[in-house]
Amino acid sequence: MKTFMPPRVSLVRPVLHWATLALVIAASPSRAQTLWHAGNFRYLPSTSGSFVTFVEGLSHPNAGGYGKVSSTRAAELNTFLDVLFTAIDDSLADGNTGDWCGVRARAAEAGYEVQRFHDTTTGRWFIYGRDTTAFGQAYFFINPFAKRNIVIEVPHEPHDSNTASQGARIFTALAARALIINKEHRCSDPDATSCSGSTDACGGYFRESDVAHHDQNTLHLLHKWFTVQDPVTKFVQLHGMSGSSSDMAEIADATTNDSDSASVSVRFASNLDKYVPSPSAIDSCQEYVGDPPSNLCATTNVQGRYTNDRAINACTTSTSLASNRFLHIEQHASLRDNDPGDGYYWGDVRDALRDTWPSCNMNNGTTDCTLGSAQTQYSDWTCP
């Protein structure tokens, strides 16, 4: 196990020379017409491509190079997130505002790089964050103009194959708020996590690189930030299981409750039943007394524990307190793929999520629940 201690980066910015300022103003659209993605947002460097293809190409090393996040880096990441979301809010209000150069500096302090990502399939701009260290911390994507306040988490790609591409498709289809994906393979680090729980994967024990079962990683820190900063944010975590034709999905709310008809897991499972050829193959862990066939009920998942009950130690303690903000979805490969020929595919999960959490009023009560129309692929600006 290694622990990353980040370098310090100065946030002092030189004064913008008046001639340079004049050129910037001349190059900028008028204040009355500047959209959020057309102004200061351009101070983030850009990349472009098919979003799903890009996500499918992300690396997930499995050579033991993982390093958990130090307390210093955790503090720097939280500061970075505060600055990032302030810039998003500022630019949404006025495209000529938002301290995106400050965002870049804070990201560097936290060991991250942030870019604008232009999806050539949808024509929309997202924010892409990647770990610049060798320690394999999470990738993240944020939709500044999200419609649904849903965060999609993928903790086990590629061990749970196709969960990253499934997450990318659901992220765009639902116009969701964020997509967070593990970088390091869950089995990479030989060090056992100090968190409770057991597994048949990775040689029979949870590793520190298993971000769903360890709390010193950036996926968990991002999850905590969204949980605390916005108490109505919902989370869906995508997993894969072997399953069978009679055991296609096991849904949990990450509590220890055996039977809770009011649970979001029961509601989601009921909604998923409507879209699959064999509803009896869909189980909720809170639907009846006793466990579903594969016994995958997420009671040791640290993100679920934290969102359900912030008063406990999420690393070591399970809870019966249900927030109904967290869905843990274990799926057969057929529900993760892009082939509906067998009656199952990722779109079934998308549609069930849409039915379970239909609200799409993140931006001024809009009734348009889509990503929106294509946006111009503006060139980069250079930070002073």
Q: Which residue has the higher pLDDT, 331 or 367?
A: 331
Q: Which SS3 state, helix, strand or coil, does residue 89 take?
A: helix
In the chain, the amino acid numbered 92 is L
Q: Taking the CB of residue 16, how many other CB atoms lie within 10 A of it?
A: 12
Single out the residue of 228, 210, 183 nearest to residue 302, CA to CA.
Answer: 210
Q: What is the mean pLDDT of residues 216-232?
A: 97
Q: What is the mean pLDDT of residues 359-384?
A: 90
pLDDT at 369 over 60: yes
Where does the pLDDT of residue 361 fall: very low under 50, low under 70, confident under 90, or very high at 90 and above? confident
Where does the pLDDT of residue 11 fall: very low under 50, low under 70, confident under 90, or very high at 90 and above? very low
pLDDT at 18 over 70: no
* Amino acid 6: pLDDT: 46
* Amino acid 22: pLDDT: 34
Q: What is the mean pLDDT of residues 6-14?
A: 39
Q: What is the mean pLDDT of residues 16-23?
A: 34
Of all helices (H) and strands (E), which one includes residue 112? strand 112-119
Where does the pLDDT of residue 364 fall: very low under 50, low under 70, confident under 90, or very high at 90 and above? low
Q: Taking the CB of residue 95, how many other CB atoms lie within 10 A of it?
A: 21
Where does the pLDDT of residue 365 fall: very low under 50, low under 70, confident under 90, or very high at 90 and above? low
pLDDT at 32 over 70: no
List alpha helices for 94-156, DSSP H: 100-109
- For 199, counting Cβ atoms within 10 Å of its Cβ (0-12 exposed, 13-18 middle, 19+ buried), the class is middle
**Mean pLDDT of all residues in the chain?**
92
* 162-182 pLDDT tens trace: 999 999 999 999 999 999 999
* Amino acid 14: pLDDT: 35
* Amino acid 23: pLDDT: 38
Structural contact between residues 305 and 215, judged by C-beta atoms closer than 8 angstroms: no
Q: What is the mean pLDDT of residues 78-90?
A: 98
Residues 2, 178: Cα–Cα separation, whole Å: 28
Single out the residue of 224, 81, 230, 249 nearest to residue 153, CA to CA.
Answer: 224
Question: CA 293 from chain center: how many Å?
Answer: 28
Lay out the sheet containing 112-119: strands in order across.
46-49, 112-119, 125-131, 139-142, 176-181, 148-154, 234-240, 326-331, 249-252, 282-284
- Supply angle C-alpha 11, 14, 18, rounded to 5: 145
In the chain, the amino acid numbered 27 is A
- Residue 216: how many CA atoms within 13 Å on its side-chain side? 21
Q: What is the mean pLDDT of residues 97-122?
A: 98
- For every residue of 174-228, DSSP letters joined together read TTEEEEEE--S-TT---SBPSS----SSGGGS-BTT-GGG-SSSHHHHHHHHHHH
* 264-277 pLDDT tens trace: 999 999 999 999 99
Tokens of 36: 């959020």
* Amino acid 367: pLDDT: 78
Q: What is the mean pLDDT of residues 303-320?
A: 98
Buried b (16+ CB within 10 A) or exposed e, 19-42: eeeeeeeeebeeeeebbbbbbbbb
* Amino acid 189: pLDDT: 97
Q: Which residue has the higher pLDDT, 140 or 24?
A: 140
* Amino acid 33: pLDDT: 65
Answer whether 0.85 is exceeded by the pTM. Answer: yes
Task: Report the percent of the chain where pLDDT is more than 90.
Answer: 89
Structural contact between residues 353 and 146, judged by C-beta atoms closer than 8 angstroms: no
- Residue 237: how many CA atoms within 13 Å on its side-chain side? 27
